[in-house]
A and B are shown apart, each in its own frame.
Chain A
C-alpha cells in the first residue's frame, strides 16, 4: 500500500513506542473505515513489587518501592512513607511535611520539563528527538537542561538525589538540608522564572491537535492548596472520598476474558495527571500559573487530552513559585531539627523490631497522576500485604477510549504515517510511564 494514501483500511503497529518511559506498543486495525482493534499494549515484564514487599521490614518499603520508577522515585517514596506511617501509627511533624511538599514539587519540575521538552517538543518541531535540536535550537535545549538542573540540584540538597531519594524516612529526615545549599537552590529557582516565561512563549507558538472527549477526571483535592501531597480523592468534582477508602471507588479487577487488570471509576475509564488536577483544582493555582494558562488558551474544564502537556507547563510555573515560597519560609522560620531528625532504621538495641500492627493507605499526586500505596504491617514491623495503584495503570483505559474516539475522526483524512504520529502523540500526551509496572494491568506479550 502506498504509505501516503489516505485509505479507509489502515493497520498500525508501533512496536516499542519511543520517547516514553517503559515499553508499550500501539496496535490499530481499521477496515472499510470501521475500527476493528485499538490497543495500547504494555510489554514490560512483570516485576512483582507487591509480593517483594511482603516479608520486608516497613522501614525498607520506601527504599524498595522508589525502585518501581526512576522518574517518579520521590513520589513513590512519599506515598510509601505515608502508607507506612498510617499503618504503624506515626504522625510526621509539620516541618517534615513541609520538606516533603518541597521535594514533591521537585518531582513535578523534573519530570514535567523532561516530558514537555525532551519527549513532546520534538513532535511539535517536526523532528525525531532532541538530538537534532542540539544544532538547530541550541538555546531551547540549554534552557531545558537548565530547568531540569534546578530540580536535580534541589533534590540533591533535600534528599541526596532525585532517583531513589536517601534522606526521607518514616517520621522525619535523616539529614537536615544545608542552609547554604538551600540558598543556592533558591537563587537558581529565582533565575528559572525567566526560563519559565520563555517556555510559555515557546508553547504559545506551537500548535497541539484539536480534539475533544469529555473524560472522567480524578485527583487529590484539599481546601488549602493545589493538592499534591495531601487531600481527599476528588472524583469529577462531584464526590470527595477519604484516601483510606480508596478501594470503594477505585475498582481494580481481573476479568475472565482478558489477561488484564482493569482500573475504573463509576464502571468507566478515567484520566489522572496534570490535566485532571487542573480541571479539578485549577482555581488554587499560583497567579503566575493561572496567567500562563490563560495565555496558552487552557480553560477549565478542558477536554482535549493533548492539552495535558500544556497543563504540565502551567504546573511547572506553579511548583516553581511554591518551591520558592517554601524555601523562604524555611529560611525565615527554620526547621525543628530535634523533632524531625531520625535514623533510617531503628537502632540495633531496638531489634527485634516492634511496631503497632495495622493497615494504611497513602496517596500523593506524582507527575502522571494520583498514586496509591497500601500496606498491612504486623507487630514486628514486617509488611504482610501490599497494593500499589500507579497513574499509568489508571490512564491506559482512558488512552484506549481516546484512541477509539480519534481513529474514526482521522481515518481517510490522514495518511498512515500521519495517523501513526497522531496516535503516538496522543499516547505521549499522557506521559505514560510503563516501567511503573507492579501488577501491570494489561500484559500481552507480543
Chain B
C-alpha cells in the first residue's frame, strides 16, 4: 500500500513571481515532482484550490498589514513551511523601501492629496512573522537547489544552507576573479549555493542569497587583503539585498538611511 502523497501549496506575497516561474520552468522536472506530491494550490497556474495542505511554500515578502494577517492564517494550516526566494528569506530588493521614510515615499509616488496604501508597512522577510523550516535563497531561486530542498522536505530531513562564500563556487567554475578585473564583487561575503550564477556570465555577485552568518569574520579574507579592502568598504557599495534587520545585523550596524 502506498502512503497518501503529501499535499503542497504555493502562496505568494509581495514580489515579482519569478521564483514560482522557476518552479513552473522545471518542465519535465515539475511533472516528476507531481508524481510524489499533490499540488493543491498554485494560483499562478491553477484555478483549483485545496483547503488542506501539509507543505506550505511561501514566495514574497510581507509588505502590508493585510500580507501579515494573511500569512498567519495560511501558515496556521501547514505542517512544514518553506520560504521560496530572496523576498521571502531575507526580504529581497523590497528591503530598499526600508532604507527611507515610508511617508516620504508615499508622497513622492502618490502626492499629498490621497494615501492609496494606508496599509503599507516596512518590508519583512516571512520569518519575522511565522516560523520557517526550510530556506531556498536567491533572486531568483536556483532550480537545482529547489529540487534538492524539496527532496529534504519530503524525506523530513533538515537542509543545511551553505555557509561558505560564493567565491568557493566561482573558483570551481574557473572564473576570472572580478577583483582581478578591477571590479567590486560581493562574492566574498555572500552565501554560496547558486553555482556563482552571475560571475559565470561576466557579472558580479550582488548578494541576493544574503550575507554569510558572520561576514566580518567568515569572509574570504585573502581576497580582501590582496586588494586592500575591508568588508565595510565593499558592503557600502552594494546594498540591494541587505536592508532587512536580519541582514544589517550581520553586517554589525543599521544601514545608513
A-B contact count (CB 8 A): 185
**Chain B residues with CB under 8 A of A20:** 44
Q: Which of B88-96, B126-134, B148-156, B244-252 contacts A (4 or more CB under 8 A)?
A: B88-96
Instruction: Indicate if the CB atoms of A128 and B48 lie closer than 8 Å.
Output: yes
- Which residues of chain B (83-118) have a CB below 8 Å from chain A? 92-94, 96-97, 100, 104-105, 108-111, 113-117
Instruction: Indicate if the CB atoms of A45 and B201 lie closer than 8 Å.
Output: no
Shortest C-beta distance, A1 to chain B (Å), equals: 22
Instruction: Indicate if the CB atoms of B240 and A60 lie closer than 8 Å.
Output: yes
Give the number of chain A interface residues (Cβ < 8 Å). Answer: 70
**Chain A residues with CB under 8 A of B54:** none
Instruction: Indicate if the CB atoms of B202 and A174 lie closer than 8 Å.
Output: yes
Instruction: Indicate if the CB atoms of A67 and B16 lie closer than 8 Å.
Output: yes
Q: Determine the residue in chain B with the shortest Cβ distance to A128.
A: B47
User: Chain A 253-264 against B: per-residue CB contact (8 Å), 1 yes, 0 no?
Assistant: 010101111000
Q: Does B139 contact A (CB under 8 A)?
A: yes
**Chain B residues with CB under 8 A of A175:** 201-202
User: Chain A 68-108 against B: per-residue CB contact (8 Å), 1 yes, 0 no?
Assistant: 11110100000000000000000000000000000000000
Instruction: Indicate if the CB atoms of B28 and A445 lie closer than 8 Å.
Output: no
Instruction: Indicate if the CB atoms of B201 and A166 lie closer than 8 Å.
Output: yes
Cross-chain contact of B14 among A47, A134, A162, A444 (Cβ < 8 A): A47
**Chain B residues with CB under 8 A of A400:** none
**Chain A residues with CB under 8 A of B119:** 45, 445
Q: Which of A281-289, A342-350, A405-413 contacts B (4 or more CB under 8 A)?
A: A342-350
Q: Does B76 contact A (CB under 8 A)?
A: no
Instruction: Indicate if the CB atoms of A174 and B203 lie closer than 8 Å.
Output: yes
Shortest C-beta distance, B63 to chain A (Å), equals: 4
Q: What are 29 A-B residue pairs whose CB atoms fall within 8 Å in the complex?
A: A16-B43, A18-B47, A19-B43, A20-B44, A43-B66, A45-B119, A47-B97, A51-B104, A52-B97, A54-B108, A60-B206, A64-B93, A67-B18, A68-B16, A70-B15, A70-B17, A71-B18, A73-B16, A114-B24, A122-B47, A131-B34, A149-B27, A166-B201, A167-B202, A343-B183, A343-B202, A347-B181, A349-B182, A445-B119
The 5 closest A-B pairs by CB, nearest first: A70-B18, A174-B202, A259-B116, A347-B182, A160-B201
